[in-house]
Amino acid sequence: MSKVWFVGAGPGDPELLTLKAQRLISEADAILYAGSLVSEAAMTWAKESCAIQDSKGMTLEQICDWLISKAKGNANVLRLQTGDPGLYGALIEMIQPLDKAGIEVAVVPGVTSAMASAAAAAETLTLPEVTQTVIFSRVEGRTPMPEGESLDELAAHHCTLCLYLSITLLKKIQTSLVAAGWSNQSPILVVYKASWPGEEQIIRGTVENIRDKCKQAGINSQAMIIASPTIGSRDWPELKKSKLYDANFTHRFRKAEKT
């Protein structure tokens, strides 16, 4: 019986696959990929004899049955998921049936869209004395949020918020941010299909106008929303610099310069 690999395909650009992910794709006998989110270009490295199946129309049970049947046939099986498997990837839901079937599993991380979106816009998610905290979350829709994790509560920290699966809930995001004390003029970044060649769109706005801007751009899916006090810092006239590179700061690789 073979092992089933859960592999992060990254945000979209096949060049952002890890080297390990590329190798595993090239060695796989069977690949089940999330076609609604993973670019088919990621299959470039698959061998001709590889059985490739798109899972976008499949239920959880069908996905697990497919993986189990291929693994029991001694195939080298790979489940290719968008971003990182451990973040909104239904990972444990798929692993539990494999555990029950006695099939070994392994997970390979991938680049998540929050990082790809910040990179696309040349923004930083943290900045000295501005914010040192990043929250990955989503807004309550059909799937409820656990107690204490409403956007109102998370936004009260005034740190960086990376909101997944929430582009259709921008009105609710605006209301929650304002309720948490964010200004209507606080900057918001939305990136559609971050890193996808020829498809990526970057929308910059404020709490007040980001919903209208996204409507005008026709963005209603596959978008990362970043609300952060760091957005736009590239244009700030003054920054608090990192101590790590400060000439007056001593660390184990360098002594502070005498002034």
**What string of DSSP letters covers 175-237?**
HHHHHTT--TT-EEEEEESTT-TTT-EEEEEETTTHHHHHHHHT--SSEEEEE-TTTTGGG-S
- pLDDT the model gives residue 35: 83
At residue 211, what are phi and psi to the nearest 5 degrees? -65, -45
The CA-based angle 97-101-107, given to 5 degrees, is: 60
Determine the longest span between alpha carbons in the chain, in angstroms: 70
Number of residues assigned to the chain: 259
At residue 205, what are phi and psi to the nearest 5 degrees? -160, -160
- pLDDT the model gives residue 257: 74
Residue pLDDT tens, the chain, 259 long: 589 999 999 999 999 999 999 999 999 999 999 887 787 778 889 999 999 999 999 999 999 999 999 999 888 999 999 999 999 999 999 999 999 999 999 999 999 999 999 999 999 999 999 999 999 999 988 888 899 999 999 999 999 999 999 999 999 999 999 999 999 999 999 999 999 999 999 999 999 999 999 999 999 999 999 999 999 999 999 887 776 666 666 666 767 777 6
* 8 A C-beta contact, residue 191 and residue 234: no
Q: What DSSP assignment string belongs to 71-119?
A: HHTT--EEEEESB-TTSSS-HHHHHHHHHHTT--EEEE----HHHHHHH
Segment (H or E) for 21:
helix 19-27
Judged by DSSP in three states, 36 sits in coil
- Does the pTM surpass 0.85? The reply is yes
Q: Regarding the domain with residue range 113-235, which homologous superfamily does it belong to in the CATH classification?
A: Tetrapyrrole methylase, C-terminal domain (3.30.950.10)
* 8 A C-beta contact, residue 145 and residue 165: no
Alpha-carbon span 82 to 90, nearest angstrom:
11
Q: Which two tokens stand for residue 97?
A: 């049936």
* 8 A C-beta contact, residue 189 and residue 202: yes
Strand 77-81 versus strand 30-33 pairing type: parallel
* 8 A C-beta contact, residue 187 and residue 210: no
- pLDDT the model gives residue 164: 96
Alpha-carbon span 147 to 15, nearest angstrom:
39
Judged by DSSP in three states, 136 sits in strand
CATH topology of domain 4-108: Cobalt-precorrin-4 Transmethylase; domain 1 (3.40.1010)
Alpha-carbon span 114 to 24, nearest angstrom:
24
HSE, side-chain direction, 13 A CA sphere, residue 114: 21
Sequence ranges of the domains in the chain: 4-108, 113-235
Name the nearest CA neighbour of 47 among 15, 84, 17, 75: 75
